[in-house]
A = this chain, B = another copy of it.
Amino acid sequence: MCELLGLSANVPTDICFSFTGLVQRGGRTGPHRDGWGISLYEGRGSRSFHDPRPSVASEIAGLIQRYAIKSRIIISHIRLANRGRVCLENTHPFTRELWGCSWTFAHNGQLHGIKKKRLKFYKPIGTTDSEYAFCWMLDRIRAKYPRRPASHKVLWQHIHELAREINKLGVFSFLLSDSYYLYAYCTNNMCWLTRKAPFGKARLIDTGEVVDFSKLTTPRDIVTVITSRPLTDNETWQQMKKGEFIIFENGRRRRY
């Protein structure tokens, strides 16, 4: 199993605290020794850092922790390879452009037979099921909507349908963003929480580290964290259900 970590916030927020817990699972408290990656949006642009090496030993991971790049949408992934060898092109998150937007995707799970689906526009660079599934989803979205549909909800429904279809092939827990929204789909092992005023303290399961968010935030901040397994042991994480699809914008859940 891989570990996913996502963030949606209404102000640019760094993910240092959560990331500190996550990277421990890359080689220390977890078995995810096969690389890690993170994508951070800044306006319409996104930047990604990838390292095929264990995150706990990665200098780039250290940079992310120290440098504290702030973003309103972040997707991160620590990999335990089960399909596709350990190399840069197989390291999540994957990125493609559609409608002039930067889309990023990270996946936890295995899919059986995904590569039988035909791809037209987007082709995988690596050999993972995950990137293939991402290419197929974008292919379908592009085929149905050559331009971004005026209604967000129409797009959300379509992404949900595509997720359900791929989910038939195995485990398809994923985080996806188009630079506007953070989409989370759960087959298993996805949970989330929203931090907002009044902010309190949080304690990391993996290191015991405690942070007092009331000292780092303003009363208006709304920050949602989505992850495979709870990162803190003194907060209430909401477990996502099988087949559940949630859309976050500016830290808030959007209903549709």
Count residues of A near B (Cβ-Cβ below 8 Å): 33
- B42 and A88 within 8 A (CB): yes
Given contacts A47-B50, A50-B47, A59-B63, whether A42 and B87 have CB atoms under 8 Å apart is yes
Partner of A67, one of B60, B67, B96, B123: B60
A49 at interface, CB cutoff 8 A: yes
Chain B residues in 8 Å Cβ range of A124:
100
Chain B residues in 8 Å Cβ range of A49:
47, 49
Given contacts A49-B49, A97-B96, A102-B89, whether A125 and B67 have CB atoms under 8 Å apart is no
Q: How far is the CA of A59 from the CA of B59 in the complex (A)?
A: 12
Contacts A/B (CB < 8 Å), 13 sampled: A42-B52, A42-B87, A43-B88, A44-B126, A45-B50, A45-B89, A45-B91, A48-B48, A59-B63, A60-B67, A63-B63, A96-B97, A100-B123
6 closest Cβ contacts across the A-B interface? Answer: A45-B89, A45-B88, A100-B123, A42-B88, A44-B89, A47-B50
> Which A residues are within 8 Å of any B CB, using their own CB?
42-50, 52, 59-60, 63, 66-67, 87-91, 95-97, 99-102, 121-126
